[in-house]
């Protein structure tokens, strides 16, 4: 019998833990979910409905920004893997304004991580 092997892709950039609501179209209906890990190229999320690997759709998600929230429209995202209601999504098309908003958010998260790591190292001395 043939063996089943899982294929893993090398991540192109850091992925940050977040808790962001998102909306996506699945089989003609608008569904909701939560993004758990976010990067410049995609995210891992849990949705209300399972999605099939290979599905492509428009996605909206909300990024926390201090006391405000900022919505990001992803013109097209592809589901790269799916396991029940969990899925890994890759951004395939996003406009410049939304890209800038996402990049700024991730840059702020990265700066926060660097500050936290520096404080932790300083305490251990």
Residue 34 has pLDDT above 90, yes or no: yes
Strand, helix or coil at 39? coil
Q: Residue 12 — very low, low, confident or very high, per pLDDT cuts 50/70/90?
A: low
Half-sphere exposure of 48 (CA within 13 A, CB side): 12
Residue 24 phi/psi, 5-degree rounding, is -150, 155
Q: Percent of the chain, pLDDT > 90?
A: 63
Q: Residue length, the chain? A: 125
Helix (H) or strand (E) holding 41: none
Strand, helix or coil at 85? coil
Q: Which domains does the chain have, with CATH numbers?
A: 16-124 (2.40.10.220)
pTM over 0.85: no
């Amino acid at each position: 019998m043939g063996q089943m092997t899982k294929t893993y892709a090398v991540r192109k950039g850091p992925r940050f833990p977040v808790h962001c609501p998102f909306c996506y179209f699945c089989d003609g209906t608008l569904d909701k979910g939560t993004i758990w890990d976010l990067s410049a190229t995609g995210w891992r999320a849990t949705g209300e409905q399972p999605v099939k690997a290979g599905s492509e759709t428009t996605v909206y998600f909300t990024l926390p920004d201090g006391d405000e929230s900022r919505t990001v429209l992803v013109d097209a995202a592809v589901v790269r893997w799916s396991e029940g209601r969990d899925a890994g999504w890759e951004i395939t098309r996003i406009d410049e304004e939304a890209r800038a908003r996402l990049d700024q958010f991730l840059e702020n998260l990265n700066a926060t991580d660097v500050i936290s790591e520096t404080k932790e190292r300083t305490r251990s001395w």
